Amino acid sequence: MYWIVVSYSAPVATATTVFLIYPIGQESFSDGVTGVCDGSLFSAIYGSLVTSSLIRETTENEPANEDYRFSQEEETYNIVAAHDYFGQLIFQYARFNNSRSLHFFLAA
Q: Is the torsion defined by CA of 34, 35, 38, 43 positive or negative?
A: negative
What is the residue extent of each domain of the chain?
1-52
pLDDT for 42 beyond 70 = yes
Residue 1 has pLDDT above 70, yes or no: no
* pTM of the predicted model as reported, rounded to 2 decimal places: 0.35
Q: Once rounded to an integer, what is the mean pLDDT over residues 73-83?
A: 65
Residue-wise burial string across 87-104, b where 16 or more C-beta atoms lie within 10 A, e elsewhere: eeeeeeeeebeeeeebee
Among the listed residues 77, 70, 90, 71, the one whose alpha carbon sits nearest the alpha carbon of residue 51: 77
At residue 12, does pLDDT exceed 70?
A: yes
Q: How would residue 70 be classed by pLDDT, with cut points 50, 70 and 90? A: low
Output the pLDDT for position 46.
72
Paired with 54 in beta bridges are: 77
